């Protein structure tokens, strides 16, 4: 039985006279790795911008886990559990990997008067945060780098740290815009394998835009295809790649 975590219904968005999205609908099923593809300028990033609250749609509705999030500001959508990797504050270059994880942990008791009186509460919170951070770092195979400054990480490790910070912040739907752009093929495969593991073992739902279809399509459950501001096809990867409309959209430019 289909179980949509994210439902986009008939959204429209224009910039001045330019119609970037003309009535687009999309469903992201819970616990899937879903990919959004399409030629340059087809409206992929605009759609993601509507889902994450960067822009408000002119028309249409967006539901996350049954909650209407249409037009909510980005921080509220984030708080509900939708994280876009580059939306999370960039890792602090001079902080260590572990510190970068700890600073996004929600429920920080703060340095308020009461918590200053209750140091034991602080300690418990700290222990819990450190434990969670190490569990995630281990999962992402970054635990051996815990004391490394973020600026010393490779590009691929930095992307993994961004994913770790999204999880640390409590994300349930992770949205990524081209996670393997500019990454070497070996690491690109590793990143997609990690995304699948996150789906299977951390119960995460993932929506990603990607251009490198040769790599990405081997790993995803479901594909949405956009062209010129509309959704032209969707389905399993093997069906979508042989779809006439999709081939035409890519070849016709
Ligand atoms: N903030 C904006 N202002 C004006 N036009 C925009 C803006 N954002 C996107 N567009 C236009 O909307 C269309 C879709 O862009 P975009 O969503 O970035 O496509 P994609 O991510 O598929 O390459 C393009 O024609 C782009 O120029
Ligand atoms: Mg884009």
**Average pLDDT value for residue range 84-101:** 81
Q: How far is ligand 1, taken at its centre, from the CA of residue 65, in Å? A: 27
**Of all atoms in ligand 1, which is nearest to the CA of residue 43?**
17
Distance between CA 224 and CA 27 in Å, rounded? 9
For residue 16, is it left (φ>0), alpha (ψ between -120 and 50) or beta?
left
The 10s digit of each residue's pLDDT in 211-248 is 889 999 999 999 999 999 999 999 999 999 889 998 88
Q: What is the pLDDT of residues 35-61, one digit of tens each?
A: 999 999 999 999 999 999 999 999 999
Q: What is the DSSP code (8-state) at residue 96?
A: B
Centroid of ligand 2 to alpha carbon of 149 (angstroms)? 30
Report the nearest atom of ligand 1 relative to the CA of 38: 22
Residue 39 alpha carbon to ligand 2 centre in Å? 9
The structure tokens listed for 205 are: 């739902």
CB atoms under 10 Å from CB of 19, counted, come to 16
What ranges in the chain are assigned the alpha helix state H?
44-51, 74-79, 97-102, 113-117, 119-139, 155-168, 185-201, 213-216, 237-240, 244-252
Q: For position 154, what pLDDT does the model report?
A: 86
The arithmetic mean of pLDDT across residues 165-170, rounded, is 92
CATH of segment(s) 1-88+169-253: 3.40.50.300
Give the start-to-end residue ranges of the domains of the chain: 1-88+169-253, 91-166
Residue 111, pLDDT above cutoff 80 = no
17 pocket-lining for ligand 1 (C-beta < 6 Å): no
Which tokens belong to 28?
């992201």
User: Does residue 20 have its Cβ closer than 6 Å to ligand 1?
Assistant: yes
C-alpha torsion sign, points 94, 96, 99, 101:
positive
Question: 40: CA distance to ligand 2 center in Å?
Answer: 7
| CA torsion through residues 77, 205, 236, 220, sign | positive
């Amino acid at each position: 039985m289909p179980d949509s975590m994210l439902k986009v219904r008939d959204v429209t968005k224009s910039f001045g006279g330019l119609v970037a999205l003309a009535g687009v609908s999309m469903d992201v099923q819970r616990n899937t790795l879903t990919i959004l593809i399409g030629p340059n300028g087809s409206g992929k990033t605009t759609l993601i911008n509507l889902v994450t609250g960067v822009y408000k749609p002119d028309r249409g509705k967006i539901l996350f886990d049954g909650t209407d999030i249409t037009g909510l500001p980005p921080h509220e959508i984030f708080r509900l559990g939708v994280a876009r990797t580059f939306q999370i504050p960039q890792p602090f270059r001079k902080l260590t990997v572990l510190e970068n994880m700890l600073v996004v942990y929600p429920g920080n008791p703060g340095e308020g008067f009461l918590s200053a009186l209750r140091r034991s509460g602080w300690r418990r919170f700290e222990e819990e945060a450190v434990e969670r951070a190490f569990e995630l770092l281990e999962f992402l195979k970054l635990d051996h780098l815990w004391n490394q400054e973020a600026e010393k990480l490779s590009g691929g490790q930095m992307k993994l740290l961004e994913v770790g910070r999204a999880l640390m912040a409590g994300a349930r739907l992770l949205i990524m815009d081209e996670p393997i752009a500019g990454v070497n093929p070996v690491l690109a495969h590793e990143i997609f394998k990690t995304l699948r593991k996150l789906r299977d073992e951390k119960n995460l739902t993932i929506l990603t835009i990607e251009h490198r279809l040769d790599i990405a399509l081997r790993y995803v459950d479901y594909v949405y295809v956009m062209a010129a501001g509309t959704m032209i096809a969707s389905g399993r990867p093997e069906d979508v790649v042989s779809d006439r409309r999709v081939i035409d959209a890519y070849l016709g430019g």
